[in-house]
Amino acid sequence: MGINARHFRQYVVRPTLQEMGMWSEAAENLMMGIAATESHLGEFLKQHNDGPAVGVFQVEPATAADVILRYLDEREDLDDRFQDAFRLLDDRDLDWGDISLDRITEKLVTDLRFSCAVARVRLWMVPEPLPAAHNIPGLARYWKQHYNTAGGKGTAEKFIRDYREMVA
């Protein structure tokens, strides 16, 4: 059994997105759906079959490093929001180049807000706008196309089912 969905939304997802200035009802619902379908709201913190993804949002550490080291480095406005809101790795003056994949992996597994922030920034990089907040099939398709990818084993149908069972 995973984390209580109402608590996860109220104490992790919504405040994380709000502090980053990336909140919308659609973004919140998408993040809840991702956590539900990727990890059953935290029931699984490591990808099945020894895959690299970890944490509630099943982010691959290499993807997180790319988000942090490449995208945030190019977007100072987001870099500042990301660091200030979450005191990334407990150091406001962090040198991004000093982050190891082991440390990123640890943070993705143990820090719910960090994991949520990385997953949200990853989706912020996508130029396509989010579907409407209550269009769960649309959010499922968006997740499949931009987060799970065409080669991923997840399906939009599973996202919808997991969302309805665990979140709605």
Q: CA 43, 99, 24, 13: dihedral to nearest 10 degrees?
A: 30
| 8 Å CB contact between 140 and 26 | no
Token pair of 141 as six digits: 């398709």
pTM: 0.89
Range of the domain at 138: 5-166
d(CA 4, CA 31): 14
Nearest alpha carbon to residue 66 among 99, 90, 19 = 99
CA distances (Å), 12 to each of 15, 44, 66, 138, 153, in order? 6, 17, 23, 23, 26
40: left (phi over 0), alpha (psi -120 to 50) or beta: left
**3-state class of 46 per DSSP?**
strand
pLDDT, tens digit only, all 168 positions of the chain: 789 999 999 999 999 999 888 999 999 999 999 999 999 999 999 998 778 999 999 999 999 988 877 777 777 777 667 666 555 545 444 555 667 888 889 989 999 998 999 999 999 989 999 999 999 999 999 999 999 988 888 999 999 999 999 999
Q: Which residues contact 141 (CB under 8 A, 6 or more apart)?
A: 131, 156
Structural domain total, the chain: 1
pLDDT of residue 140: 98
Q: How far apart are CA 157 and CA 137, in angstroms?
A: 8
